[in-house]
Amino acid sequence: MAGMSEQTTSCIVPGLYRIPTPTPFPVGAANVYLYKGGDCLTLFDAGTKTEAAWGVLTCRLRELGVEPSDIDRIILTHHHLDHLGLSRRIRDVSSATVIAHPDVPTQIPYMFDESSAHVHLDALMRELGVPADVAEKVIALRQQHRELLDDFVVDEPIADNGRVGNFTAHFRPGHSSTDTVFVHSDERWALTGDHLIRNVTPNPILRRRSESGLREQSLVQYCNALRETRTLEMDWCFAGHGSPFQDHRAVVDATLRHIERRGAKVLAATPAEGATPYQITKALFRRLSEPNLYYCLSAATGHLELLATQDMLKSEYRKDVLFYLPIRT
């Protein structure tokens, strides 16, 4: 059930403890990991900025003999609110060092700055064929969780393939632009955040255009990142949601198969005369609710972009609105 948390779990790895924390989101509990190994106390991710999550986290830490003030280091897997929300509060009571992808500080304000959202999202919604009245609702709904945003700080950005303690950081953009997998270099296990979750295909979220006018294709990025993760040597994975799992290659393969099956549905839903991403979104998600529209639009657009890279669809603009058409062989 969304918002509920499980009990603290002592993981297979000595010194690593999974603490599921409640969230207000449909995804349900988000995992925070306490790592007692190495030379300092480390948290991987920091839950959501709610009193419920803070209460669960502090209670579970104390069961493990740790106070929030004891934390030395917070390592973030990506910039979404259910994974970094309590990092500032923990840092304030502990002076912990917050370590994350270098783009994390710039991504957070964009999500909740209303003027920036209008500049970027309004143009994006028009391009994808979203009617103006619907676009306004989408933009407004993107602001609904502003209370979960704190005065956020990253003390030490980490580079791709950089090291922090015994961990190597591997950037894996897709679900978010800042997704990072942290692999314990000696013991062959990893914190995979929302990049790789067993039995779940993370939704690669739409990107805004860069200053150069380009917009990264999030699902294309994600598939490439999955293939890179498949080459890593890992015995156990500890994800941002759900339980630990082994055989990450099988999980990668299952995720790619799910993406392929969804792509086939998108292709079948694309008429010969072409359709906008918004029209495809409505065709795929028959019970489309306004709070989920942005995420469903992200999914549909991602598949359209991926199919275009596979030469199954082509795109064209009609009065500045993007359309996708099947390529007939």
Give CA–CA dist 323/139, Å, rounded: 22
CA separation, residue 117 to residues 42, 178, 253 (Å): 34, 19, 35
Helices (H), the chain: 51-63, 81-84, 87-94, 104-112, 114-127, 132-141, 218-230, 248-269, 277-284, 293-309
State the Cα–Cα distance between residues 57 and 224, nearest whole angstrom: 34
pLDDT value of residue 10: 66
Give pLDDT, residue 207. Answer: 87
With a CB cutoff of 8 Å and minimum separation 6, the contacts of 273 are 325
pLDDT string in tens for the chain (329-residue length): 334 446 666 668 999 999 999 999 888 999 999 999 878 999 999 999 999 999 999 999 999 999 999 999 999 999 999 999 999 999 999 999 999 999 998 887 666 666 666 777 888 999 999 999 998 888 887 777 778 888 888 999 999 999 999 999 999 999 999 999 999 989 999 999 999 999 999 999 998 877 777 889 999 999 999 999 999 999 999 999 999 999 999 999 999 999 999 999 999 999 999 999 999 999 999 888 888 899 999 999 999 999 999 999 999 999 999 999 999 75
Q: Which domains does the chain have, with CATH numbers?
A: 9-109+150-257 (3.60.15.10)
Whole-number Å distance between alpha carbons of 43 and 36: 9
φ/ψ (deg, to 5) at 218:
-65, -40
Q: Report pTM.
A: 0.93
Whole-number Å distance between alpha carbons of 13 and 235: 10
DSSP state of 177: T
Q: 204: closest CA among 133, 278, 76, 301?
A: 301
pLDDT of residue 1: 33
Distance CA 67, CA 90 (A): 10
Q: How far is CA 121 from CA 55, 139, 181, 285, in A?
A: 35, 7, 28, 21
